[in-house]
Structure 1
Amino acid sequence: MNSTTWLHVPDVHSFLARAGDFLRSRPALHTVTLTACEGLRVRGPQAYGDEAPVFGVLERGGEVRAAYFRTPPHRLIVTPLAPEEAGSLAAHLRAVGDPVPGVNADEATAAAVAGAWRSLTGSEPRLHERLRLYRLGELRWPEPAPEGRGRFAEARDRELVARWYVEFVRAIEGAGLQDPGAWADARIADRRVSLWETPDGVPVSMAALTPRVAGQIRVAHVYTPAGLRGRGFGAAATAHASRAALAEGAAEVLLFADLANPTSNGVYQRVGYRPVTDFAVYDLAGAVAD
């Protein structure tokens, strides 16, 4: 009889040695874990903050069945689980004593983990947001297309990109704001920020790209300042970034959209993105495993 065991893993290299093949087997569903761990592998733990990341795997008969990770102060990212596995994960986290401020996973898994944690701790989970994961089908340029052009951000755009990064994180009520200048520097150097600019050269929207890992690239940090929205700039920046991802050789181009924002969901579908699955993010108030 095969035993099923959650294991706490000490660092990103050990985690990828154990779980890398499993994660790469379904790169779309595991996109956040793959890209975040690539950043940790390349730039070190300091890439996501001062606190040490947390990793774990579920093994059955010596094979990885599921995995989780967390870069403090962010929520726990969990791969899809069966209901009973969600319960065993909650018990494991409580036993190892890691803080659990929240959970981010596919909708069923997130709800199951939140419910299991509530049963163990008595803390009431709060649904923070629901997200839809999209995969690019056939890229279509937005119609009508706004005037202007897309280009990669350059060193002269550093201050703007850093400021828009901060505004984006605040707009989505995100945790763990990275150093804005460092964030901008790394992505500008790697040509991973697309800007849409007007005919007179004024940038009006931004879309960033994650590194290619396991054949997938994710469009992220799509941001248009409030006073410039509704003119197609975000769609154009997204299309420009998506075209760059395809040119880089991505087998899958992905993005997440907040389901509470029908405008952005409509924009992404009009440029060729198709739904994959829905995710949910829960805050676990007072959820410290001690």
Structure 2
Amino acid sequence: MTASLAVQAAAEIARRAPGLTPRVGIILGSGLGGIADRVEGAVAIPYTELPGFPVPSVEGHAGRLVLGRLGGQPVAVMQGRVHAYEGAGFGALRTAIHALKAAGCGILFLTCAAGSLRLDVGPGRIVTISDHINMLGTNPLVGPNDSAVGPRFPSLQDAWDPALRRRVAVASERLGIPFSEGVYAAYLGPSFETPAEVRMLGRLGAEAVGMSTVPECIVARHCGLRVAGCAVITNLGVGLSDGPVNHEHTLAAASAAAADLERLLIGFLNDLDTPDEGHP
């Protein structure tokens, strides 16, 4: 059923944006939806008009697919996502990502808002995700496997593509945007983590924590998409500072940092066709 809906959604994408074959799919996290406004020649499709697509229920997630060009590349931008804590399962998430691939995407670039587990990486910083820890208690591939989509037991070694991460680093340096990489831990939510959980995640090797992104990476890698992503730091983890940690603060802080993420994303896309000297 998921595969059938994805094919239908891809056909609707092709119908609504004739002549455009997106190369890069982009998912925008909380407070970052404004980046979609930079898409040139934009065609916006509400998720409700795409078969099987998710319908977000959280503030800061518009729920529409924006097709056009960004940084010189044809893109399909998901302006908003659903989260595991919303309780709808992973079927719509799988459909959306499979539809992006069926529409032509070979790369999925994920963005999210996150809390920092490092005192030296504070609000406003952008962290390129180098690896992840799945603390959701579940996996989006649970259930029957469609071998036409991907293997039953996919490897997640280098799930966050090293060559794409190098390109993000190069773009960051060229644009003068402070650069760091880190491991992202996904917590189920919707409650924020306790101080004890923040300390635990730091000891496990995580540098940032949020409530999304990991399921999209797993689904994308399962179906053969290359994955890169950045977390916008909106706050220090609970117990690491006296600052507020709530959704309103997350949206405000993410919106303030969105300009740097926008520049970085456009720079990454502009450089996508240049040779990668670190990768034969």
TM-score relative to the length of structure 1: 0.27
Task: Pick the structure with greater CA Rg.
Answer: 1
Flag the structure with higher strand content.
Answer: 1
Flag the structure with higher helix content.
Answer: 1
TM-score relative to the length of structure 2: 0.28
